[in-house]
Structure 1
Amino acid sequence: MGDEISHSQFEQADFDAFRERLASETALLGQWFEEQAFSTRVPVSGLELEAWLIDSQARPASVNQDFLDAMGDPLVVPELAQFNVELNVHPQPLRDHALSRLHRQLDETWHESEHVAAGIGGTRLVMVGILPSVRQQDLTLDNMSKLERYRALNEQVLRLREGKPLMLDIHGREHLNIVHKDVMLESATTSLQLHLKVSQKLAVRYYNAAQILSAPLVAASANSPCLFGKQLWEETRIPLFEQSVEVGGFAGASRGPVRRVSFGTGYAKESLFECFVENEQHFPVLLPMQYGDPEAELRHLRLHNGTIWRWNRPLIGFDDDGTPHLRIEQRVMPAGPTVIDSIANAAFYFGLVEALVQGEIPAENQLPFATARDNFYAAARDGLDAQITWLDGRKGPAQSLLLDKLVPLAGYGLGLLGIDETDRENYLSVIRQRVSNACTGASWQRAWLARHGNDMQALTNAYYDRQRSGEPVHGWDT
């Protein structure tokens, strides 16, 4: 949904015309799947890191347009709120020194962003799933980025909800129950989104493996324990995002059985085309823009897919020569706590998913989808203490599963990819030490609050100071 649109006011004719284009582009995409027309230049990795701009009081600073103008970097783009931005990297073939190259790129962009932000009234840049100091009154339309696509998104979500406000109800260590009248709750959730370009032949295996791995990934990376002064889930971002754009599919738009933000409805069976058919058949159009581009660019299909936020989302893109390609976007991990933590999370995922895909027995044949889904929400709620059922049918703490099986398995998978041995050890050692110390970003924040009291601004400042050191979170003091 990254493309800007020209206006936010639509008539029924706009929706009808869009659905007609969506149907024809979906049919064309189906033809490409039948012809096996997708790029074989794989695997290729990429990532997006969302971040917060904060002021000297550790409150959100709504200055992203000034920041972006000063940056002048096409890889740094706006997000929903004026206090959020997104940093991107150039995609890297997933072999040799890909991880250290991603690290170097992200590190350079991050440090330049920090420098530019400081020049705008001392603004600071923070990577964290949910900013501890954000307040409900910060999440207003006045703080929405000045882009038509965001204004239209808000209007259309409320239209499908028949004007009913969003209800946020999260039971964690404490209970949060509030009403919010627009989609700006979503802007409180910032993520590390990992992209993996895959072959059509193995795309189903990669997609299903990504779903299965969502639970251990979120357990190992949790960094969002607080919202509006309350301690909730280890990764509160998960229920917050799901409830902040709560619009279902057809047959009951606001409370339909298929939700726009969800773990999905099942494993892929024959091809990823099934997801795009589900998009067309089950989700009302939110942004019915009309594009004059050639049908083969799939502008309408890709825009529609961008308004459906599966935690693991299939994407259609194009190589430089115009060949279509398949990507899987892994969306479960929060931003932060540091650049090296982020690259370690990427290494862990890329290694694990490759190991599962290359396994003799498909992972999806060993773990029912409902169990993978239950694992995911348990991990988001309880982090390393979550009870997770793995492929062998055994259930146990996520921390033990990660240390005993999954960190070594990720190393094996990175080896299959031909990732440099030093890179493998450097980044997986961060995961190993984080899990063995039981010190995720979420557990560090909880420990700080237990020691210093429930001061969310002070917590944000303490977190920022340690983030600035560049040391991985498992080495932070409280």
Structure 2
Amino acid sequence: MGREVTSRTFTREDRRLFRQKVLMCVDALERMLREGAFADDVDPPRPMLGMEIEFNLVHSDMTPAMSNLAVLESIDDDAVFQTELGQFNVEMNVRPGPLNGEGTFELERTLRASLHVADARIHGHDAQLVMVGMLPTLELEHLGREWITANPRYEQLNDQIFAARGEDIELDLEGVPLEGRSAEQLKVDANSVLPEAACTSLQLHLRVAPDEFAAHWNAAQCLAGAQVALAANAPFMAGKALWHESRIPIFAQATDTRPLELKNQGVRPRVWFGERWITSVFDLFEENSRYFPALLPEVSDVDPSAELDAGRVPDLNELQMHNGTIYRWNRPVYDSDDGKPHLRIENRVLPAGPTVLDTMANAAFYYGALRGLAESDRPVWSRMSFNAAEENLHAGAKYGMDAELYWPGVGFAGADELVLRRLLPIADEGLAAFGLSAKARDRYLSVIEGRCVTRQTGASWQRAQVVRHENAGLSRREALAAMLRQYVENMREGSPVHTWPV
């Protein structure tokens, strides 16, 4: 959800002071890195498997349920469930579990139980939770400003993005044709940032020691295209068949503060893959402070250098606030627990769903492959251009399992073959290095293998079902609702998506 704000208006002086405080925070971070303030971090990292899952809310007829505040009141668990930008969204913060032994089994059981309890409590609101990258039954009428959750952060974020743009947001995306059909196109202006709320994700967190951060971030960038191709689950928006993972381009367009003229000048977007491999986590925070104006310039009275001089760990409030409004697909995070600072990589490329088991499998593949690549003798990013990694992300998002991805020593290969032949063995070795049992590795990585063998993802299943229903005579709206109803039943039953009947 991001850090809260209290101000409802910001002045020119707020912006000037905020810029100064961000630079002060960057200087303080550089000092902390130089003086070894993060020395208590483990090396190599032994992460807890931490995740945030964004959910959509639907009525029994599969239309969006604009009732997140009432739903959250009924769930009554603020530590786990929180608001999100749209009234049809909630976010679940999954309590971290150990990534060794068979600890992931307990985390999986806990996740299932939490969702079961939540769904039971919200039944009286004619609402149910859906894990999906984009809710197929969302229409343009659901994306107006009136459906933003009542929260100062969301309202300010919307106002500041539009103030920076000076015009409405344009959504413009040509889709991948459904079987036997022509390509469809979404081209519409939006008067709010709510199309961002349509993009519901799984966010994975990895705590990393400073000396290991660059290797892990570079490896995460290399993995992004394969991750998205494997997990694609967002093929429809506003009744249009778009990319297999439409969430990637729609999120970028929905939060773009640049009018056309600034795009033509090459001004960097706030949803950003990046532009180079890094040698230090400091590179990322320095870029964020140099290139991006403030969206939420709320200033505190704390001097971070004075905090360090006094032997205390600074919160770096302005740096954290600013960082939370720059949407890197692999975002650096500074935080502190019990007076101890730490750094995390927040992996943001994955969609939510389709099932709990699919979610756990996506997480296991990421953590395992990331460690394997980060600790390889010859780093893959030393043999791969940064542009190739970014192009992989776009190809994976557009075509899903049909994407052709570039990999050093392989050239271009189908996403399924690349994962089966190269990345799955690396993921297995990485998970074994973390200490995950063979039983646990087999449970989760066999799901990834099954997707590659069947070539069925959440997106390909959704697309095939809509074609089937339309061929039987249903309209697009009826076909989407019928497909989503079956999707929800399959999600609750819990079998991984590659086993769902077409």
TM-score range, shorter chain: over 0.9
Compute the displacement of 1:257 (Å): 2.2
**Cα deviation per residue 1:70-105 (whole Å; 9 max; x = unaligned)?**
222112111001110011122234322342233123
Partner of residue 63, structure 1? 67
Map 1:236-315 → 2, pairs under 5 A: 236-248=246-258, 252=262, 256-269=266-279, 271-293=280-302, 295=304, 296-315=314-333
Partner of residue 464, structure 1? 488
Is the deviation greater in 386-395 or in 374-383?
A: 386-395
Is the deviation greater in 292-301 or in 228-237?
A: 292-301
Contact preservation (8 Å) 2:122, 2:128: yes
User: 1: distance between equivalents of 2:240 and 2:381?
Assistant: 37
Compute the displacement of 1:258 (Å): 1.0
Contact preservation (8 Å) 1:87, 1:109: no
**Cα deviation per residue 1:144-167 (whole Å; 9 max; x = unaligned)?**
1110000000110011112x1111
Contact preservation (8 Å) 1:347, 1:427: yes
Partner of residue 475, structure 1? 499
Contact preservation (8 Å) 2:53, 2:93: yes
Contact preservation (8 Å) 1:130, 1:188: yes
1:19 and 2:19 correspond: yes
Is the deviation greater in 371-380 or in 406-415?
A: 406-415
Which amino acid in 1 is paired with 2:257?
A: V
Compute the displacement of 1:402 (Å): 1.2
**Cα deviation per residue 1:225-244 (whole Å; 9 max; x = unaligned)?**
11111111110000000000
Partner of residue 96, structure 1? 101
Which amino acid in 2 is paired with 1:334?
A: P
Which amino acid in 2 is paired with 1:469?
A: E
User: 2: distance between equivalents of 1:201 and 1:96?
Assistant: 26
Partner of residue 433, structure 1? 450
Contact preservation (8 Å) 1:43, 1:199: no
Which amino acid in 1 is paired with 2:134?
A: I
Partner of residue 375, structure 1? 392
1:40 and 2:41 correspond: yes
Q: Please give the secondary structure, in 2, of the residue aligned with 1:408.
A: helix
User: 1: distance between equivalents of 2:203 and 2:329?
Assistant: 10
**Cα deviation per residue 1:117-158 (whole Å; 9 max; x = unaligned)?**
2132x2111000001100011011211111000000011001
Equivalent residue in structure 1 for 2:210, among 200, 208, 211? 200
User: 1: distance between equivalents of 2:486 and 2:404?
Assistant: 31
Map 1:320-331 → 2, pairs under 5 A: 321-331=338-348
User: 1: distance between equivalents of 2:120 and 2:408?
Assistant: 46
User: 1: distance between equivalents of 2:216 and 2:232?
Assistant: 23
User: 2: distance between equivalents of 1:391 and 1:254?
Assistant: 32
Compute the displacement of 1:247 (Å): 1.9
Partner of residue 403, structure 1? 420
Compute the displacement of 1:293 (Å): 4.9
Partner of residue 112, structure 1? 117
Compute the displacement of 1:432 (Å): 0.8
User: 1: distance between equivalents of 2:146 and 2:257?
Assistant: 23
TM-score, length-normalised on structure 1? 0.96
1:87 and 2:88 correspond: no
User: 1: distance between equivalents of 2:4 and 2:194?
Assistant: 18
Compute the displacement of 1:308 (Å): 0.3
1:127 and 2:131 correspond: yes
Partner of residue 317, structure 1? 335
Contact preservation (8 Å) 1:234, 1:380: yes
TM-score, length-normalised on structure 2? 0.91
Partner of residue 310, structure 2? none
Compute the displacement of 1:256 (Å): 4.9
Q: Please give the secondary structure, in 1, of the residue aligned with 2:211.
A: coil
Compute the displacement of 1:374 (Å): 0.7
Compute the displacement of 1:393 (Å): 4.6
Is the deviation greater in 462-471 or in 146-155?
A: 462-471
Over 3 Å counting, the alpha-carbon distance change for 1:114 and 1:18 in structure 2 is same
Partner of residue 375, structure 2? 358
User: 2: distance between equivalents of 1:107 and 1:36?
Assistant: 40
Contact preservation (8 Å) 2:247, 2:351: yes
Compute the displacement of 1:188 (Å): 0.5
User: 2: distance between equivalents of 1:254 and 1:95?
Assistant: 48
Q: Percent identity?
A: 39
Which amino acid in 2 is paired with 1:198?
A: V
User: 2: distance between equivalents of 1:196 and 1:98?
Assistant: 16
User: 2: distance between equivalents of 1:64 and 1:459?
Assistant: 23
Contact preservation (8 Å) 2:98, 2:104: no
Which amino acid in 2 is paired with 1:178?
A: V
User: 2: distance between equivalents of 1:316 and 1:106?
Assistant: 26
Contact preservation (8 Å) 2:144, 2:190: no
Which amino acid in 2 is paired with 1:304?
A: H
- Unmatched tracts of structure 2, length 5 or more: 177-183, 305-313, 471-475
Contact preservation (8 Å) 1:367, 1:393: no
User: 1: distance between equivalents of 2:7 and 2:95?
Assistant: 30
1:152 and 2:169 correspond: no
Over 3 Å counting, the alpha-carbon distance change for 1:150 and 1:132 in structure 2 is same
**Cα deviation per residue 1:162-210 (whole Å; 9 max; x = unaligned)?**
2x11111111222211111111110100001100111111110000000
Q: Please give the secondary structure, in 2, of the residue aligned with 1:91.
A: strand
Map 1:329-344 → 2, pairs under 5 A: 329-344=346-361
Over 3 Å counting, the alpha-carbon distance change for 1:324 and 1:254 in structure 2 is farther
Q: Please give the secondary structure, in 2, of the residue aligned with 1:119.
A: helix
Which amino acid in 2 is paired with 1:421?
A: A
Which amino acid in 2 is paired with 1:43?
A: R
Which amino acid in 2 is paired with 1:86?
A: E
User: 2: distance between equivalents of 1:236 and 1:253?
Assistant: 21
Contact preservation (8 Å) 2:3, 2:324: no
User: 2: distance between equivalents of 1:327 and 1:94?
Assistant: 16
Is the deviation greater in 15-24 or in 237-246?
A: 15-24
Over 3 Å counting, the alpha-carbon distance change for 1:294 and 1:85 in structure 2 is farther
Compute the displacement of 1:218 (Å): 0.5
Over 3 Å counting, the alpha-carbon distance change for 1:275 and 1:150 in structure 2 is same
Compute the displacement of 1:338 (Å): 0.5
